[in-house]
Structure 1
Amino acid sequence: MSTAPERPLRADAARNKRLIMDAARELYAEEGIDVTLDDVARRAGVGVGTVYRRFANKEQLIDGVFEQNFADIAAATEASLANPDPWNGLVSFAEFACSRMAVNRGLKDVINGTDEGCEQLACQRSIFEPAIEQMFSRAQAAGTLRLDAVVTDLFGLIFMVGALAEFTRSVSETAWRRYLSLGLDGLRAAGMGRDSLPLPALSIEDLHDAKQFLKDRRR
């Protein structure tokens, strides 16, 4: 049975939807996806009822906000697979994923979570996860990635770096790059050598300041 084409939104309705999406995008990046639709309504400057008219539930809003992020991740996997150097392709994807999560707490939550209720995210994940497996296999076949590593090791590394980026953000927005480099060295095949670490280590004072910032934020 054919369905009727979706009617274009009125100008005021389209404006409200844009305000809601922009507010959700900001809040998810700052606070993660645990914020409520009430929080989104307050940030957008609209009534809660307006939010529910545009999005039946939180999952629909998450779908809309992160659909482009996941499409970008899928595009990054394609670019990495097109790289003639399999190891450099793997590194470039890891750097891309970590750079996105370093500035977007919500993206880290979504990638680490399930897609329950989020149809678009599930669809996008079904595209890029097999591509990442292919990327991994390609580097192993080239002899640049250790043979006892599995693709979930890469996911684990990206998740760890994302968590560290959140912890260190208040003292350094780029400290995560040093720790990604250390983690990637652990995935290299024996005899492949190591790159110089891209940034100096955090100081003890930096770590104390980062801990204090997180403690103050949770109050």
Structure 2
Amino acid sequence: MTPGPKPHEAQSLRSDAERNRGRILAAARTVFERDGLGASMASVAREAGVGIATLFRHFGAKEDLIAAVFADRMDAYVTAVGEALDTPDPWAGFTGFIEAICAMQATDRGFADVLTTTFPAAEGLEERRAAASQGFLELVDRAKDSGQLREDFASQDLVLLLVANAGVVAFAGDTVPDAWRRLVALVIQSFQAPARGPLPAAPADDALYEAMLRAGAASIASRERGSIT
């Protein structure tokens, strides 16, 4: 029987593995922030200076890597809801939350994508998303009860804003880095009561969820197969 590694060798292997995992996470943050979730696993491996096989030993699927990279950002997303709910003025809490998360999108293209996609297998990430969504519904109710948010505002309108903001962030890049601020200001003004006019019906929840699923699947599949070899 082949003897196993000696204790000091085993410790060295664990240390190497931990270092590689840290390098992969740091590289993924850089790549996803710069290129969005469509960046390939091969590009992350190159940035980390490891082989693609090493990357997949640590993260068996791209979804696993995305969940690990953005766990802290999703925690910040939930925290932002809590801080908004603690704001005494309902309108200030509502608008402050929208501005905060759109700013988070603007500083991280990958997170801009995360907020407009869904990854059912990444349970921790989706639990945070659900917690933030529940808090946002409370913000909406408070703002409507105060008479400051138009009555026909729907929670789906936030998803549409985040999709639009992600598009502006990707389009403007470093050339016009603050373009998103004008978009968000214009949209927030349109949310305020009294309403200036009627709106078309909001998209159905299940249809929006299907669109987010499709976007997530596209991000996972994007450029992967041709990049691994």
Normalising by structure 2, report the TM-score: 0.76
Q: Mean Cα displacement is larger for which, 122-131 or 109-118?
A: 109-118
Q: Compute the displacement of 1:115 (Å).
A: 1.5
RMSD between aligned residues:
1.8
1:41 to 37, 40, 45: 45
1:169 and 1:37, CA in 2 relative to 1: closer, same or farther beyond 3 A?
closer
2:159 to 155, 159, 162: 155
Partner secondary structure for residue 11 of structure 1: helix
Name the counterpart of 1:183: 187
Q: Mean Cα displacement is larger for which, 134-143 or 152-161?
A: 152-161
State the distance in 1 between where 2:183 and 2:95 align.
13
Q: Please tell me the residue identity of whatever aligns with 1:140.
A: K
Uncovered stretches (5+) of structure 1, i.e. residues with no partner: 1-7, 192-219
Q: How many residues align?
A: 185
Q: Mean Cα displacement is larger for which, 107-116 or 43-52?
A: 107-116
Q: Compute the displacement of 1:169 (Å).
A: 2.5
User: CA offsets per residue over residues 1-24 of structure 1, 9 Å max, x none?
Assistant: xxxxxxx98221111111000111
Partner secondary structure for residue 80 of structure 2: helix
In the TM superposition, 1:174-213 aligns within 5 A as: 174-190=178-194
Name the counterpart of 1:26: 30
Name the counterpart of 1:169: 173
1:141 to 128, 136, 145: 145
State the distance in 2 between where 1:171 and 1:123 align.
35
State the distance in 2 between where 1:171 and 1:46 align.
32
State the distance in 2 between where 1:57 and 1:70 align.
19
State the distance in 2 between where 1:41 and 1:179 align.
35
Asked whether the equivalents of residues 113 and 166 of structure 2 are also in contact (C-alpha less than 8 Å), the reply is: no
1:103 to 101, 107, 110: 107
Asked whether the equivalents of residues 116 and 162 of structure 2 are also in contact (C-alpha less than 8 Å), the reply is: no
> 4+ runs of 1 displaced by more than 6 Å?
none
Asked whether the equivalents of residues 94 and 158 of structure 1 are also in contact (C-alpha less than 8 Å), the reply is: no
Partner secondary structure for residue 34 of structure 1: coil
Uncovered stretches (5+) of structure 2, i.e. residues with no partner: 1-10, 196-229
Q: Compute the displacement of 1:166 (Å).
A: 2.1
User: CA offsets per residue over residues 48-105 of structure 1, 9 Å max, x none?
Assistant: 1211111111111011001111110000000000000111111111111111111222
Q: Compute the displacement of 1:171 (Å).
A: 2.4
User: CA offsets per residue over residues 21-51 of structure 1, 9 Å max, x none?
Assistant: 0111111111111222221111100111211
Identity rate of aligned residues, in percent?
34
User: CA offsets per residue over residues 97-121 of structure 1, 9 Å max, x none?
Assistant: 1111112221122211122321221
Higher relative contact order (CA closer than 8 Å, sequence separation 6+): 2
State the distance in 2 between where 1:165 and 1:85 align.
29
State the distance in 1 between where 2:39 and 2:178 align.
26
Partner secondary structure for residue 115 of structure 2: helix
